[in-house]
Structure 1
Amino acid sequence: MSYQALYRVWRPQRFADVVGQQVITQTLKNAIITNQISHAYLFAGPRGTGKTSAAKIFAKAINCHHQKDGEPCNECEICQSITAGTLNDVIEIDAASNNGVEEIRDIRDKAKYAPTQADYKVYIIDEVHMLSTGAFNALLKTLEEPPANVIFILATTEPHKIPLTILSRVQRFDFHRISPQDTFDRMKYILDQKKFKYEEKALWVIANAAEGGMRDALSILDQALSFGDDDVTLDDALLVTGSVTKKLLQTYFQQVATHEGPAALKTMDQILGQGKDGQRFIEDLISFIRDLLLYQESPELIEIAATGLKEADFQELSQLANAQQLYQMIDVLNQVQDEMRFTTHPDVYLEVLTIRLSQISSEQPSITGTADQQEIDQLKQQVQSLQQMVQKLSKQAPPVNQSRVQPKKTAPTGQPVRINLEQVYQILDHATKQDLVDLQNMWPDILNLLNPAYRSLIELSKPVAASPDGVVVAFDNGFLLQKASVGNLADDVNQGLEKITGSERHVAFVPSGKWPQIRHDFLADRGYFKKQSTTQVKDPVKTSQQKQHDQITSQAEKFFGTGDVEIKND
Structure 2
Amino acid sequence: MAYQALYRVWRPQKFADVVGQEHVTKTLQNALLQQKTTHAYLFSGPRGTGKTSAAKILAKAVNCEHAPTGEPCNECAVCRGITDGTIPDVIEIDAASNTGVDDIRDIRDKVKYAPSVVKYKVYIIDEVHMLSIGAFNALLKTLEEPPKHVIFILATTEPHKIPLTIVSRCQRFDFKRITSRDILKRLIYIAGQTGIEYDEQAMNIIAHAAEGGMRDALSLLDQAVSFSDGKVRVEDALTVTGSISQNDFTQLARAIQKKDVGKCLDIVDALLQQGKDASRLVEDFILYFRDMLLYKTAPQMEEAVEKVYIDEEIKEISRELSTDEIYHYIDILNKTQQDMRFSNMVRIYLEVAFIKLCEEKKPAPAENDLVQKLAAKVHELEKEIQALKQNGLSPREDEEARPARQAPKKIPRASKGFKVQVGRIHDILREATKQDLQLIKGHWNDMIETLNSRQMRSQAALLNEAEPVAASPNAFVIKFKYEIHCQMAMENQKFLHAITAVLSELTGTAYQAAGVPENEWNMIRENYIHHRKEETEEEKMPDDPVVSEAIKLVGSELIEIKD
User: What is the TM-score with the length of structure 2 in the denominator?
Assistant: 0.66
The alpha-carbon deviation at position 228 of structure 1 amounts to: 0.9
Shift of 1:33: 0.9
How far apart in 2 are the matches of 1:78 and 1:172?
A: 26
In the TM superposition, residue 191 of structure 1 has moved relative to its aligned partner by 1.5
Report what 2:135 is aligned to: 135
Write the distance in 1 (CA, Å) between the matches of 2:363 and 2:54.
52
Shift of residue 6 of structure 1? 0.5
Match of 1:5 in 2: 5
CA contact under 8 A between 1:201 and 1:306: conserved in structure 2?
no
1:53 paired to 2:53: yes
| Shift in Å, 1:152 | 1.0
Mapped partners of 1:128, 1:251: distance in 2: 48
1:313 aligns with 2:313: yes
Alignment CA distance shift 1:312-1:477 (3 Å): farther
Aligned to 1:387: 412
With 298-307 and 327-336 compared, the bigger mean Cα shift is at: 298-307
Q: Secondary structure at the match of 2:321?
A: coil
State the alpha-carbon separation in 2 of the partners of residues 480 and 31 from structure 1. 55
Deviating more after overlay: 19-28 vs 231-240: 19-28
Question: Once the two structures are superposed, what CA deviation does each residue of 1:442-487 show, in whole Å capped at 9, x if it has no partner?
Answer: xxxxxxxxxxxxxxxxxx99x999xxxxx999999944999xxxxx
3-state SS of 1:280 partner: helix
Equivalent position of 1:324 in the other structure? 324
| Residue segments in structure 2 that go unaligned for 5+ positions in a row | 374-408, 427-444, 465-494, 510-563
1:183 aligned onto 2:183: yes
Aligned residue for 2:326, secondary structure, equals helix
The answer to whether the 8 Å contact 2:122/2:153 transfers is yes
Change (3 A) 1:388 1:202: closer
- Change in 2 beyond 3 A, CA 1:404/1:32: closer
Unpaired runs of at least 5, structure 1:
374-383, 395-399, 408-459, 466-470, 483-510, 526-570
Change (3 A) 1:180 1:404: closer
What is residue 15 of structure 2 aligned with on the other side?
Answer: 15
CA contact (8 A) 1:48 1:215 kept: yes
The structural deviation recorded for 1:86 is 2.6
Aligned residue number for residue 109 of structure 2: 109
Match of 2:232 in 1: 232
| Residues 479-558 of structure 1 mapped to structure 2, 5 A cutoff | 479=461, 521=505
Instruction: Confirm or deny: 8 A CA contact 2:295 2:305 kept in the other structure.
Output: no
Equivalent residue for 2:75?
75
Q: Which moved more, 1:140-149 or 1:115-124?
A: 140-149
Aligned counterparts of 2:312 and 2:300: Cα–Cα separation in 1: 15
Partner of 1:195: 195
Structure 1 letter corresponding to 2:505: D
1:120-519 aligned within 5 A: 120-303=120-303, 309-364=309-364, 366=366, 369=369, 387=412, 478-479=460-461
After superposition, give the CA deviation of every residue in 1:37-96 in whole Å (9 maximum; x if it has no partner).
011111111111111100000001101112574111112222122112232211111222
Structure 1 pair 310–35 and aligned structure 2 pair: CA distance change class (3 A): closer
Which deviates further from its counterpart, 132-141 or 47-56? 132-141
Q: Structure 2 CA distance, aligned partners of 1:254 and 1:284?
A: 16
Determine the C-alpha separation between the residues in 2 that align with 1:156 and 1:87.
24
In 1, Cα distance between equivalents of 2:357 and 2:98: 49
SS of the residue aligned with 1:106?
Answer: helix
How far is 1:343 from its partner? 4.0
Q: Would you say the 8 A contact 2:286–2:333 is kept in 1?
A: yes
Query: Which digits, 9 at most, give the CA deviation of each residue in 1:377-397, with x for residues without a partner?
Result: xxxxxxx99936978xx9xxx
Q: CA deviation at 1:311?
A: 4.1
Cα contact 1:464–1:473 (8 A) shared by 2: no
CA–CA separation in structure 2 for the residues paired with 1:117 and 1:516 = 78
Q: Matches of 2:42 and 2:109 in 1, distance apart?
A: 21
1:189-219 per-residue CA deviation (whole Å, 9 max, x = no partner) reads 1121111211111111101111111001000
Q: How far has the Cα of 1:132 moved from its partner?
A: 2.3
SS in 1 for 2:123: strand
Deviation at 1:519, TM superposition (A): 9.3
- Residue 267 of structure 1, CA deviation: 1.5
Instruction: In structure 2, give the amino acid aligned to 1:73.
Output: C
Q: Percent identity?
A: 50
Shift in alpha-carbon separation, 1:385–1:284, aligned structure 2, 3 A: farther
| Structure 1 equivalent of residue 556 of structure 2 | none
Q: 1:68 to 1:475 in 2, by over 3 A?
A: farther
303-312 vs 324-333, which moves further: 303-312
The 1:101/1:325 distance shift into structure 2, 3 A limit, reads farther
Tell me if structure 1 keeps the 8 A contact 2:324–2:365.
no
| In 1: Cα distance, 2:130 partner to 2:463 partner | 37
Do the aligned partners of residues 111 and 320 (structure 1) sit closer, same or farther apart at CA in structure 2, a change above 3 Å counting?
same
Distance in 1 (alpha carbons) for counterparts of 2:337 and 2:25: 37
Structure 1 letter corresponding to 2:211: E
Distance 1:184 1:242 in 2: 18
Q: CA deviation at 1:524?
A: 7.3
Tell me the secondary structure at the aligned position of residue 302 of structure 1.
helix
1-structure distance, mates of 2:32, 2:463? 51
Alpha-carbon distance change, 524 to 46 in structure 1, aligned in 2, over 3 angstroms: same
Query: CA shift at 1:113, angstroms?
Result: 1.7
SS state at 1:303 partner: helix
SS in 1 for 2:154: strand
Residues 95 and 128 in structure 1, CA contact (< 8 A), matched pair in contact too: yes
Match for 1:280: what amino acid? R
Cα distance in 2 for partners of 1:385, 1:255 equals 55
Go from structure 1 to structure 2 and tell me whether the alpha carbon gap of 1:2 and 1:389 turns closer, same or farther (over 3 Å shift): closer
Provide the rounded CA distance (Å) in 2 between the counterparts of 1:137 and 1:202.
49
Deviation of 1:306 after TM superposition, in Å, equals 6.5
User: In the alignment, which residue of structure 1 is the partner of 2:438?
Assistant: none
**Contact persistence 1:67–1:73 (CA under 8 A):** no
Deviation at 1:258, TM superposition (A): 3.7
1:11 deviation in Å? 0.3
Q: For each residue in 1:9-53, what CA deviation from the matched residue of structure 2 results, as whole angstroms up to 9, or x when unmatched?
A: 110111111111122112111111110001111111111111110
Is 1:304–1:311's contact at 8 Å kept on the other side of the alignment? no
| Corresponding residue SS for 1:318 | helix
Indicate if the aligned counterparts of 2:291 and 2:308 stay in contact, CA closer than 8 A: no
8 Å CA contact retained: 1:325, 1:360? no
CA distance in 1, matches of 2:459, 2:34: 51
TM-score between both structures, scaled by the size of structure 1: 0.66
> Is 1:295–1:314's contact at 8 Å kept on the other side of the alignment?
no
TM-superposed CA distance for 1:254, in Å, is 2.0
Q: Which has the larger radius of gyration?
A: 2
Alpha-carbon contact 2:95-2:131 (below 8 Å) kept: yes
How far off is 1:272 after superposition? 1.4
Q: Output the amino acid matched with 1:266.
A: D
Cα RMSD, aligned residues only: 4.0
AA matched with 2:176: H
Letter of the structure 1 residue corresponding to residue 160 of structure 2: H
In structure 2, do the counterparts of structure 1 residues 104 and 178 end up closer, same or farther at CA, with 3 Å as the change threshold?
same
- State how far apart, in whole Å, the 2-side matches of 1:6 and 1:166 are: 35
Q: Count how many residue pairs are aligned between Structure 1 and Structure 2.
A: 421
* Contact map agreement 2:115 2:121 (CA 8 A) in 1: yes
